């Protein structure tokens, strides 16, 4: 059986081109080998002569000394540990520089492409005659484009995706395999990974003695420019107001965003998080994995919520909260330490000392 490499062919860069890309002056080592070509990125341990690696922590010094990478991004502090045969590229932030170069070499891996490996509308796609599709759009076999849908140039709609009636998709977007989009407006350069569900009913009912009456969900989902939605994430359309995901926000796999939620610009929401209806997140908010946010709360700009926390109160801008229920980080840590002391029987008459006294009295 062959051992395929699933990503598109990389775009090699010379050391001189890498130095220019990073805005750093070429070192003597670069000057001595300006035409050396870097064709991939790799870890210190796995890198070979044609690869670029990076190192930014003292614990990685042993791996740095043994690396076979053609070039390595390091700070000035660790440059002396770069072995002979590896070009040291001195930068202030090696990991950030590494990502900058990797985005150039492996640009095709930054967004999902056609699952069928073609350009244009495939014969097996079903496109309604009233849909409007600009030039250079790729639609894979099995995809369905509904009446009145509009898709901008450079967008890829992968196999099995369903684009509902009237949906608007901007330019240079990527809609992954099996995605469903309905009641949704997407800006430019939006990425929706496979299996995501966007624009379905919000979860709303009015209870009575006769049962649960469904509340009409008549608003939309709006994904602004440069939003990225992870695989199998669900975003419900609004009931009376739109569900909005702000520009540049990145949402991980397996996240639930309920109806009427408004999320600001450049937020990060990690996997298995749930945001309940009508909650509002400001700009640059970060939610760790498995965070729960109850309905109608507000999380201020720049706030950070620790993983597995349960947010039931408004969070001030810039705050760092954690715990269940979530509270300021200092208060949470104080409670955790107090519980640990109780578990060790410290600071209380009902601890080990108290138990021992009771046993002696029996």
Token pair 């008549």 in the structure block, residue: 218
Token pair 């985005």 in the structure block, residue: 103
- DSSP β-ladder status, 327-328 and 320-322: antiparallel
Q: What is the pLDDT of residues 34-59, one digit of tens each?
A: 778 899 999 999 999 999 999 989 99
Q: What is the pLDDT of residues 186-209, one digit of tens each?
A: 999 999 999 999 999 999 999 999
Which of 202, 199, 200, 203 lies closest to 186 in space, CA to CA? 199
pLDDT of residue 226: 98
Q: With cut-offs at 50, 70 and 90, classify the pLDDT of residue 7.
A: confident
Query: Is residue 9 over pLDDT 80?
Result: no
243, β-bridge pairs: 221
Q: What is the pLDDT of residues 281-337, one digit of tens each?
A: 999 999 999 999 999 999 999 999 999 999 999 999 999 999 999 999 999 999 989
Q: What is the pLDDT of residues 215-237, one digit of tens each?
A: 999 999 999 999 999 999 999 99
Query: Is residue 352 over pLDDT 80?
Result: no
Q: What is the pLDDT of residues 159-186, one digit of tens each?
A: 999 999 999 999 999 999 999 999 999 9
Give the chain's domains with CATH numbers.
13-110 (3.40.1390.10), 126-329 (2.160.10.10)
Rounded Cα–Cα distance for residues 74 and 55 (Å):
5
The pTM score is 0.89
User: What average pLDDT does range 16-28 have in this prediction?
Assistant: 86
Query: Is residue 353 over pLDDT 60?
Result: no
- Crossing angle of helices 94-105 and 15-22, rounded to 10°: 120
**DSSP H helices in the chain:** 15-22, 28-32, 61-66, 94-105, 329-343, 352-361
Token pair 């600001």 in the structure block, residue: 264
| Catalytic residue flag (residue 259) | yes
Give the DSSP per-residue string, 11-35. --EEHHHHHHHHT----HHHHHSTT
Query: Is residue 351 over pLDDT 50?
Result: no
* Residue % of the chain over a pLDDT of 70: 94
Which strand ranges, in their side-by-side order, compose the sheet holding 150-151? 132-133, 150-151, 168-169, 184-186, 221-223, 243-245, 262-263, 280-281, 298-299
Residue tagged active-site, from 106, 259, 266, 296: 259
Q: With cut-offs at 50, 70 and 90, classify the pLDDT of residue 2.
A: low
207, β-bridge pairs: 212
Which of 173, 176, 145 lies closest to 158 in space, CA to CA? 176
Residue 361, H or E segment: helix 352-361
* Residue % of the chain over a pLDDT of 90: 82
User: What average pLDDT does range 102-124 have in this prediction?
Assistant: 91
């Amino acid at each position: 059986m062959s051992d395929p490499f699933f990503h598109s062919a990389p775009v090699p860069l010379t050391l001189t081109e890498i130095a220019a890309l990073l805005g750093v002056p070429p070192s003597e080592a670069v000057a001595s080998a300006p035409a050396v070509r870097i064709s991939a990125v790799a870890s210190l341990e796995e890198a070979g002569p044609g690869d670029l690696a990076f190192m930014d922590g003292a614990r990685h010094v042993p791996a740095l000394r043994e690396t076979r990478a053609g070039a390595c991004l390091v700070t000035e502090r660790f440059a002396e540990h770069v072995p002979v045969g590896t070009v040291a590229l001195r930068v202030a932030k090696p990991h950030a520089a590494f990502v900058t170069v990797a985005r150039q070499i492996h640009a095709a891996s930054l967004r999902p492409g056609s699952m069928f490996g073609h350009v244009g509308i495939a014969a097996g796609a079903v496109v309604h005659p009233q849909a409007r599709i600009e030039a250079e759009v790729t639609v894979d076999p099995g995809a369905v484009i509904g009446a009145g849908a509009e898709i901008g140039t450079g967008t890829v709609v992968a196999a099995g995706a369903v684009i509902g009636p009237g949906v608007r998709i901007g330019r240079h977007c990527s809609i992954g395999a099996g995605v469903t989009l309905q009641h949704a407006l997407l800006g430019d350069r939006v990425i929706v990974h496979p299996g995501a569900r966007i624009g379905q009913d919000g979860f709303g009912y009015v209870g009575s003695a006769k049962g649960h009456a469904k509340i009409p969900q008549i608003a939309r989902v709006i994904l602004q420019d440069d939003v990225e939605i992870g695989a199998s994430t669900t975003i419900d359309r609004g009931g009376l107001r739109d569900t909005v995901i702000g520009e540049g926000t990145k949402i991980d796999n397996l996240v639930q965003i309920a109806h009427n939620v408004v999320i600001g610009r450049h937020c990060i929401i990690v996997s298995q998080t749930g945001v309940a209806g009508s909650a509002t997140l400001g700009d640059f908010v970060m939610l760790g994995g498995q965070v729960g946010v109850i309905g109608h709360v507000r999380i201020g700009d720049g706030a950070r919520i620790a993983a597995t926390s349960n947010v039931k109160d408004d969070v001030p801008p810039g705050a760092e909260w954690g715990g269940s229920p979530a509270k300021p980080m200092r208060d949470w840590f104080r409670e955790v330490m107090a519980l640990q002391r109780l578990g060790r029987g410290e600071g209380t008459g009902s601890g080990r000392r108290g138990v021992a006294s009771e046993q002696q009295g029996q």
